[in-house]
Amino acid sequence: MRYAVRLAYIGENYSGFQRQPNMKTVEGTVIEALRKVGWIEDEEKANYNHAGRTDQGVNALSQTIAFNTSEKIILPALNNSLPRDICCWAYASVAESFDPRRDALLRTYKYYAIYEGENLRVMKKAASLLKGTHDFKNLCTPKPNRRTIRTLLESKIEKRGDLLIFTFSSKGFLRKMVRKMVTALRKIGSGEKNLQYLKDLLNPNYEPRGGVAPAEPSGLILFDIKYPFDFLVDEVSRKIFLKTLYKNYIHERIKAQICKVIISELEKAS
């Protein structure tokens, strides 16, 4: 049988998703767990593959892998062999020909950033310019001889409390494309650049001086990947991971508050 499995992870402790020699990666950790529970012995024989790579520090809610196995899929057994910052939480039986990268219908990334007084109206106007089909050569880290034309079906920004939430949807993205788009939009929102700057970046003949630096990876999450079928959510795995995430959330909130207090007191001392 062939299965597709959805996994979520917090990326800060990993050198990205994709396996790399002598590096701790999410994929390498998951494959090791798959072997440990006896679901696969060899990735090639199991026709193992994944939906896409995420860079170091990037997070995911719906990364997707696929593999063949004769074993019964019991996700809590697999999660017992995974660290707490990775969870396989849903699965589906799929056709032998299924490829999680090629067969994805739509990918959605979200980027979270602290609002720093940017002009939201101008940023939203800039985000709308990214929608549609463009050459994103200046807004990605291109591979040699690889086409850089992509179609963004969604490009929007919303403010929620003190957070800016950037949402981008497309069938496919280029390396560091989302993080570079976020950088460009924030520069426009801060007044450092204007709308013409983004129009220039979307011109493949334009070469920006110094390029566009990608935004920090920790704010990025691979939010969703749509396929022409539904996944079965494993409730046990979902609830256990929720408990872990909630504990981490409380810990980080307390840590942030401590930092806020120290900043406040040090500013008074100046």
DSSP per position, 11-53: GGGSS-SS--TTS--HHHHHHHHHHHTTS-S-TTTTT-EES--
Residue 190: the pLDDT is 97
Identify the domain boundary among 80, 103, 126: 103
What value does the mean pLDDT of the chain take?
96
> Does some domain include residue 245?
no
Annotated catalytic residue within 55, 85, 103, 234: 55
> Does some domain include residue 157?
yes
C-alpha span between 199 and 209 (Å, rounded) = 15
Instruction: For residue range 218-249, list pLDDT tens digits in order.
Output: 999 999 999 999 999 999 999 999 999 999 99
Identify the domain boundary among 60, 75, 103: 103
User: Are residues 181 and 113 both part of a single domain?
Assistant: yes
Q: Provide the percentage of residues in the chain whose pLDDT is more than 90.
A: 95
144: left (phi over 0), alpha (psi -120 to 50) or beta: beta
Residue 115 binned pLDDT confidence (cut-offs 50, 70, 90)? very high
Q: Which domain holds residue 111?
A: 106-222
How many domains is the chain partitioned into structurally? 2
Residue 27: the pLDDT is 98
What average pLDDT does range 172-197 have in this prediction? 97
Instruction: For residue range 191-201, list pLDDT tens digits in order.
Output: 999 999 999 99
CATH number for 138? 3.30.70.660
Q: Considering the entire predicted model, what is its pTM?
A: 0.95
User: Are residues 115 and 197 both part of a single domain?
Assistant: yes
Annotation marks residue 55 as catalytic: yes
Instruction: For residue range 97-107, list pLDDT tens digits in order.
Output: 999 999 999 99
CATH number for 94? 3.30.70.580
User: Are residues 153 and 214 both part of a single domain?
Assistant: yes
User: Are residues 154 and 96 both part of a single domain?
Assistant: no
User: Are residues 148 and 197 both part of a single domain?
Assistant: yes
> Does some domain include residue 66?
yes
C-alpha span between 30 and 187 (Å, rounded) = 37
User: Are residues 117 and 99 both part of a single domain?
Assistant: no
Identify the domain boundary among 103, 123, 144: 103
Q: Provide the percentage of residues in the chain whose pLDDT is more than 70.
A: 100
C-alpha span between 53 and 175 (Å, rounded) = 9
> Does some domain include residue 130?
yes
